[in-house]
Amino acid sequence: MRRALELAARGPARGVNPQVGCVLLAPDGRTVAEGWHRGAGTPHAEVDALSRLGADEARGLTAVVTLEPCDHTGRTGPCSEALLAAGVARVVYAVDDPGDESSGGGARLLGAGVAVERGVLADEAAELVRRWLVPARTGRPFVTVKWASSLDGRAAAADGSSRWITGTAARQHVHEVRADHDAILVGTGTVLADDPSLTARGDAGELLADQPVPVVVGDRPVPADARLHRHPRELVQVAGHDPAAALDELWRRGVRSVLVEGGPTTASAFVRAGLVDDYLVYLAPTLIGGPRTALDDLGVASVDDQRRLRVASVTPLGTDLLIVARDDTGSTP
């Protein structure tokens, strides 16, 4: 299964399809073939592995797959049917497919007499496809809220200036995070105050190959000369101030992951609504003081109401720290 996870990681992390890997084993444990999913419209991992074998060469083999084989016809056929037609005798998979249409492959295989084992390295597999699994379970894009702050939690000085609190390593990492999301979202306040480009750029300022869709939420118009109009992706504007409504609109547009980079007002709205899956906090060893905190009111009237998070990782970036935190009380894995 760990080899299948390595194969799965070769596939694209963005988009509507999960990363999936498959290893076909002989009865003596020897690896016979391997495969992985290379993106929407391409063969699924199981079919990719089976395609490397001749007729009847898969009969009696064990298929080890990181995700439950699908049981529906989309741009490709059901993997459950492909495994049955190939004569695979046993299927071992890590994570159940939560999709209403795509799930059920395990039950179908079991009903056809195939030995099925589920849950092997489930936690590791769920972590790999977390950015796909959360949207599949919740029906909304995966939401990452990011901010940079001083040790005392300030995102800007009293006059509003914030360039730069963190160092170059942290700032470059932000661009890599942008490129890893389908969309990047800010409020109109940030657009009017900072005129951001919201592009993902390399060390020399060049545009990276993957660019997030720029999204602006709010009722005030984006100025005609704003840099966002020169973004390589078309600007999306969502009226109103309802985070859930904004995510619904982005979901309809095929967006499955959103990086919220707006100021305290926008970030706090997503936190209050319980719509944040990952928190990325770039913490600089500096003190600023004053009123410009990274978040606004979260509806926490008492310390008993505080929002406890779990620190998933801490990574040094130059002189700064990147802290990734999650809310384990929510519905996300």
Across the range 131-152, mean pLDDT stands at 94
Claim: this prediction has a pTM higher than 0.85: yes
Pick the CATH number of 140-326 from 3.30.390.50, 3.10.20.440, 2.40.160.10, 3.40.430.10: 3.40.430.10
Which residues lie below 8 Å from residue 2, measured CB to CB, with a gap of 6+?
A: 121, 124
Taking the C-alpha atoms of residue 105 and residue 50, their distance in angstroms, rounded to an integer, is 17
pLDDT in tens, 26-56: 999 999 999 999 988 899 999 999 999 998 9
* Domain 2-134, second-level architecture: 3-Layer(aba) Sandwich (3.40)
pLDDT in tens, 281-292: 999 999 999 999
For the chain, percent helix, then strand, then coil, each to nearest 5? 25, 25, 50
For the chain, the domains span: 2-134, 140-326
Q: What single-letter amino acid sits at 324?
A: V
pLDDT in tens, 163-222: 889 999 999 999 999 999 999 999 999 999 889 999 999 988 899 999 999 999 999 999
Omega cis (within 30) before 36: no
Looking at 46, 68, 249, 261, which residue is catalytic?
Answer: 46
Beta bridge partners of 145: 260, 279
Confidence of residue 332 (pLDDT cuts 50, 70, 90): very low
Taking the C-alpha atoms of residue 62 and residue 49, their distance in angstroms, rounded to an integer, is 12
Calculate Rg over the CA atoms of the chain.
Answer: 23
Would the pLDDT of 72 be above 80? no
Active site residue 46: yes
Among the ranges given (16-20, 73-77, 144-148), the one the predictor scored with the smallest mean pLDDT = 73-77
Residue 324 buriedness (CB in 10 A; 0-12 / 13-18 / 19+): middle
